């Protein structure tokens, strides 16, 4: 985990220290209100490596944003769900998704890939 120094106690900096980064918001959004296994998360995000996904899930669990449930089965089954703290981020992620779906965001991405 990478903590962002926050000498002015900025709430945006605080939030980005917790769930910012390339993959964490995407993982949280994918889990959403469901319960997902590692393989399904990997299918939903094909650009992330197994190692990075595993590390990000561990960090999100350490931060208390997701819960990991192990089932005593053979083969072993593990599912990830959002904790109450993780669920509290869903309105924020929905707003980010809404902006990402806007024409303005699409125009910016089009310019980025040129």
Q: Does residue 50 sit within a domain?
A: yes
Q: Does residue 104 sit within a domain?
A: yes
The domain that contains 103 carries what CATH number? Answer: 1.10.10.10
Q: Does residue 6 sit within a domain?
A: no
Q: Does residue 5 sit within a domain?
A: no
Is the torsion defined by CA of 111, 42, 26, 91 positive or negative?
A: positive
Question: Which residues is 71 bridged to in the sheet?
Answer: 77
pTM, to two decimals: 0.90
- 35 contact partners, CB below 8 Å, separation of at least 6: 69, 79, 80, 81
- Can you give the pLDDT at residue 55? 96
φ, ψ of residue 5 in degrees (nearest 5)? -55, 140
Q: Does residue 40 sit within a domain?
A: yes
Which residues of the chain are modeled with pLDDT < 50? none
Q: Does residue 34 sit within a domain?
A: yes
Domain boundaries, position 30: 11-112
- Can you give the pLDDT at residue 25? 96
């Amino acid at each position: 985990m990478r903590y962002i120094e926050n000498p002015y106690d900025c709430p945006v900096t605080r939030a980005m220290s917790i769930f910012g980064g390339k993959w964490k918001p995407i993982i949280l959004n994918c889990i959403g209100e469901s319960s997902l296994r590692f393989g399904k998360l990997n299918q939903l995000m094909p650009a992330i490596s197994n190692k990075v996904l595993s590390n990000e899930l561990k960090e999100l669990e350490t931060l208390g944003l997701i819960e990991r449930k192990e089932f005593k089965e053979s083969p072993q089954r593990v599912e990830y769900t959002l904790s109450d703290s993780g669920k509290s981020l869903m309105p924020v992620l929905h707003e980010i998704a809404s902006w990402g779906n806007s024409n303005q965001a699409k125009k910016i991405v089009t310019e980025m890939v040129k």
